[in-house]
């Protein structure tokens, strides 16, 4: 079956070659005949163009006059005369705008295209076109009378006869060509069948017999060409194969039995060896993967458990701090209003008393007590992490550590702990940071106080600073962003902190000391809040019986240091009789603020709320408003200031509150309000704020 398919393939290839040759001959003949036909058609079209041109020239003068005189009847007769010329199919006359005037056929174009009219300026146009399915030759030209154009004429010649001639000529040549090709193909097929296909078929049959096992088969081909040589080679090969087959059959029979047994034994041994190695290797790999998966799963479970525990502890701590912060914020607001009288009135009384008055000492005691209470309230606000942080550029060594070591608080602490020695090691090239001097000083004071109280008898506290570049992760799981830091370090040789207490030392009111003995229980919580507000981090290391080290990382800055504030005399803060409107819902607070401002030389008016302020400003004016942010009931400070600006766009204001700075305070400042001052007021604090808001600031920055 396979050999027969090859024979058919050979015949197919030969026929394909004949067909290809026929196609080549046809293309060659066509390449000769096609230009002849093209030239004939071109010559015929030139004759038609000459005919139409001659007809037009013959009737040109009559057509021009009739178009110019608008003699349509005469023009129609002229067109009919032209139409009688053999081959002229139809005619159309157009005006200068290209619209048809007269046409011999209804299917003629009703107007000439503008681009075609433009081309007629140079010469007549002759081209082929189709109208109503007929192939026509169109001759279009201008109609002129004494050099003046009066219209256009289009003459159409029927090309049907020319196309029929082309078809007849093409058919004749095609028929002749097909006949020649058919005769040539038949002759070549007969020749190649006798010379190639039949000898190849005999050779094919002989090969089939050898393949079937009939070795020694011979083929009879008498030709001396390549096929004859192939037949001779085949006969010799067939004979040699028969001889070799006989010899090999004898040798194979003697060795076949032994070879089969040996091969079978080798296969069995190889199969056994291969299976054993594969099974051992597979089992070993399975055990290895199982162990690795188990080990990885144990590591991931341990890591997940530790991460879950850390996040849960952090969430609980955050929720607790948030709840305490909300409570502390509300309490701080109320306490600041209450403390205003205790802090502000003593200052006014001391200004009015004689220097030798016996009342000065108790009044100063009242004032100091009020200031201490205000400091505790400030700790509560810091605990909420919503306290105001001045972004001053400062040097920790010169503006925090050194001033604290010379402060009365430090002297008092050393007097209470005579066995404690302080060692100070400050980096000379310490990088500056951005922060609040007051908050950072309180942080250092709390750390040193706790360190001193952890030393029972004698010991040492070390205060040091250094520059550090780090990206470490602390024990509490928080990462320090990579970069430059100024580090404040406070270490002691005290009792140390138990491991179970280490994670809770920053919680408010959590302490192992006796409550009421020292501080309020807020010291470390204030430290934590201040460090967070400064975008810093705390690293705590402690061992029982050895001591504790606090490392506080503050992001360093390359900006220049801020100018420090200087003290001012009362005269520097005095006013010039400017009118100030105090808006506060607490009567005592209005009275305190009014007394301070009058002492400074200002004229003062007071109102109890936002609605009253609006009513007052309808009839009076004020150079400045001191506006409380939280007023109940009624409008708060932000809404009051927004409504006042709607009626008095240039009204100046200072924002005041017993609470911490928040979004509404910042919104009021964006509207145009000046500084924000926190209650309780001091004469210097409110004096500076008013000066700056009125555009006459004292010679340094406003303090916190």
pLDDT number for residue 475: 47
> Mean pLDDT for each 10-residue chunk of the chain (704 residues)?
49 73 76 79 85 85 83 85 85 87 80 81 83 85 85 87 81 79 77 71 74 72 70 74 75 74 77 77 83 85 79 67 62 66 73 78 76 66 53 87 90 91 90 86 91 91 88 52 86 88 71 50 77 87 91 86 57 87 88 88 93 93 91 86 92 81 79 80 83 72 38
551 and 575 fall within a common domain? no
The domain that contains 507 carries what CATH number? 3.30.565.10
Residues in the chain: 704
Domain coverage including residue 514: 388-555
Any domain includes 583: yes
Task: State how far the Cα of 110 lies from the Cα of 113, in Å rounded to an integer.
Answer: 10
- The CA-to-CA distance between both ends of the chain, in Å, stands at 108
Task: State how far the Cα of 352 lies from the Cα of 323, in Å rounded to an integer.
Answer: 44
pLDDT number for residue 303: 81
pLDDT number for residue 702: 39
586 and 548 fall within a common domain? no
pLDDT number for residue 1: 42
611 contacts 363 by C-beta, under 8 angstroms? no
Q: How many CB atoms lie within 10 A of CB 93?
A: 24
Domain boundary at 169, 194, 220, which? Answer: 169
Any domain includes 240: no
73 and 29 fall within a common domain? yes
Domain boundary at 131, 149, 169, which? Answer: 169
516 contacts 510 by C-beta, under 8 angstroms? no
Task: State how far the Cα of 489 lies from the Cα of 547, in Å rounded to an integer.
Answer: 13
539 and 607 fall within a common domain? no
* Residues contacting residue 353 through CB under 8 Å, at least 6 positions apart: 359, 360, 363
Q: How many CB atoms lie within 10 A of CB 600?
A: 19
Any domain includes 266: no
pLDDT number for residue 647: 92
pLDDT number for residue 283: 82
Instruction: For 90-103, give the secondary structure using H, E and C.
Output: EEEEECCCCEEEEE
Any domain includes 246: no
Task: State how far the Cα of 328 lies from the Cα of 508, in Å rounded to an integer.
Answer: 10
pLDDT number for residue 649: 92
pLDDT number for residue 395: 92
Identify which of 374, 389, 299, 376 has the alpha carbon closest to the alpha carbon of residue 342.
Answer: 374
Any domain includes 253: no
Across the beta sheet with 537-543, the strand order is 420-425, 459-470, 483-492, 547-555, 537-543
Domain boundary at 489, 521, 555, which? Answer: 555
Identify which of 410, 559, 400, 547 has the alpha carbon closest to the alpha carbon of residue 488.
Answer: 400
456 and 587 fall within a common domain? no
State the sign of the Cα–Cα–Cα–Cα dihedral 74, 79, 80, 82: positive
461 and 420 fall within a common domain? yes
Any domain includes 432: yes
For residue 519, the Cα-to-chain-centroid distance in whole angstroms is: 52
pLDDT number for residue 510: 60
400 and 540 fall within a common domain? yes
Task: State how far the Cα of 676 lies from the Cα of 704, in Å rounded to an integer.
Answer: 9
401 and 521 fall within a common domain? yes
493 contacts 459 by C-beta, under 8 angstroms? yes
Task: State how far the Cα of 503 lies from the Cα of 314, in Å rounded to an integer.
Answer: 10
* Residues contacting residue 328 through CB under 8 Å, at least 6 positions apart: 380, 381, 383, 384, 508
The domain that contains 680 carries what CATH number? 3.40.50.2300
Any domain includes 28: yes
Task: State how far the Cα of 192 lies from the Cα of 448, in Å rounded to an integer.
Answer: 118
Any domain includes 331: no
Task: State how far the Cα of 149 lies from the Cα of 151, in Å rounded to an integer.
Answer: 6
593 and 547 fall within a common domain? no
28 half-sphere exposure, CB direction, 13 A CA radius: 7
Tally of domains within the chain:
3
Instruction: For 219-247, give the secondary structure using H, E and C.
Output: CCCCCCCHHHHHHHHHHHHHHHHHHHHHH
Q: What are phi and psi of 173, to 5 degrees?
A: -65, -35
535 and 578 fall within a common domain? no
Cis peptide leading into residue 633 (ω within 30°): yes
The domain that contains 147 carries what CATH number? 3.30.450.20
518 and 616 fall within a common domain? no
546 and 584 fall within a common domain? no
């Amino acid at each position: 079956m396979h050999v027969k398919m090859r024979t058919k393939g050979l015949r197919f290839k030969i026929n394909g070659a004949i067909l290809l040759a026929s196609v080549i001959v046809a293309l060659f003949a066509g390449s000769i005949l096609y230009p002849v036909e093209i030239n004939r058609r071109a010559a015929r079209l030139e004759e038609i163009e000459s005919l139409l041109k001659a007809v037009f020239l013959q009737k040109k003068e009559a057509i021009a006059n009739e178009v110019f005189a608008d003699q349509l009847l005469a023009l129609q007769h002229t067109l009919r005369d032209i139409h009688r010329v053999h081959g002229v199919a139809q005619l159309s006359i157009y005006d200068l705008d290209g619209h048809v005037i007269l046409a011999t056929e209804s299917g003629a174009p009703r107007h000439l295209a503008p681009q075609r009219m433009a081309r007629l300026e140079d010469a007549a146009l002759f081209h082929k076109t189709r109208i109503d399915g007929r192939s026509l030759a169109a001759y279009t030209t201008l109609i002129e009378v004494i050099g003046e154009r009066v219209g256009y004429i289009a003459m159409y010649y029927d090309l049907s006869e020319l196309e029929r001639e082309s078809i007849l000529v093409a058919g004749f040549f095609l028929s002749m060509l097909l006949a020649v090709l058919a005769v040539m193909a038949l002759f070549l097929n007969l020749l190649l069948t006798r010379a190639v296909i039949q000898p190849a078929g005999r050779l094919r049959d002989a090969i089939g017999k050898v393949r079937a096992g009939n070795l020694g088969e011979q083929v009879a081909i008498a030709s001396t060409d390549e096929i004859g040589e192939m037949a001779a080679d085949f006969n010799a090969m067939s004979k040699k194969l028969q001889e070799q087959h006989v010899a090999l059959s004898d040798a194979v029979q003697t060795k076949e039995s032994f070879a089969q047994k040996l091969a079978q034994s080798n296969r069995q041994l190889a199969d056994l060896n291969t299976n054993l190695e594969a099974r051992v290797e597979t089992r070993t790999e399975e055990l290895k993967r199982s162990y690795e998966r188990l080990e990885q799963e144990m590591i991931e479970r341990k890591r997940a458990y530790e991460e879950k525990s850390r996040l849960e502890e952090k969430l609980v701590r955050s929720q607790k701090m948030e709840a305490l912060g909300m409570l502390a914020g509300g309490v701080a607001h109320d306490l600041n209003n209450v403390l205003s009288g205790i802090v502000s009135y003593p200052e006014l009384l001391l200004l009015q008393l004689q220097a030798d008055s016996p009342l000065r000492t108790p009044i100063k005691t009242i004032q100091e007590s009020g200031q201490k209470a205000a400091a505790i309230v400030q700790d509560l606000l810091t605990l909420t992490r919503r306290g105001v942080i001045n972004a001053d550029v400062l040097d920790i060594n010169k503006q925090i550590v050194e001033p604290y070591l010379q402060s009365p608080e430090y002297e008092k602490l050393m007097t209470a702990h005579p066995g404690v020695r302080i060692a100070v090691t400050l980096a000379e090239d310490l990088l500056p940071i951005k922060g609040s001097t007051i908050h950072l000083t309180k942080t250092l004071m709390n750390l040193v106080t706790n360190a001193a109280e952890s030393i029972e008898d004698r010991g040492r506290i070390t205060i040091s600073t250094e520059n550090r570049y780090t990206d470490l992760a602390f024990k509490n799981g928080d990462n320090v962003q990579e970069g430059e830091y100024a580090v404040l370090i406070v270490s002691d040789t005290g009792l140390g902190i138990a491991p179970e207490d280490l994670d809770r030392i920053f919680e408010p009111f959590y302490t192992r000391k006796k409550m009421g003995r020292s501080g309020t229980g807020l010291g470390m919580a204030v430290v934590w809040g201040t460090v967070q507000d400064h975008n810093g981090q705390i690293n705590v290391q402690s061992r029982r019986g050895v001591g504790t080290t606090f490392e506080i990382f503050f992001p360093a800055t390359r900006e220049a240091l801020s100018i420090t504030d200087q003290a001012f005399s009362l005269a520097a803060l005095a006013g010039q009789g400017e009118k100030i409107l105090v808006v506060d819902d607490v009567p005592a607070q209005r009275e305190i603020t009014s007394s301070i401002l009058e002492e400074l030389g200002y004229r003062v008016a007071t109102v109890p709320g936002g609605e009253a302020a609006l009513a007052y400003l309808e009839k009076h004016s004020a150079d400045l408003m001191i506006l409380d942010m939280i007023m109940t009931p009624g409008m708060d400070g932000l809404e009051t200031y927004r409504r006042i600006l709607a009626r008095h766009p240039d009204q100046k204001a200072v924002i005041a509150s017993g609470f911490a700075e928040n979004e509404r305070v910042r919104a009021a400042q964006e509207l145009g309000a000046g500084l924000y001052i926190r209650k309780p007021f001091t004469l210097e604090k409110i004096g500076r704020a008013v000066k700056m808001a009125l555009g006459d600031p004292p010679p340094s920055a406003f303090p916190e």
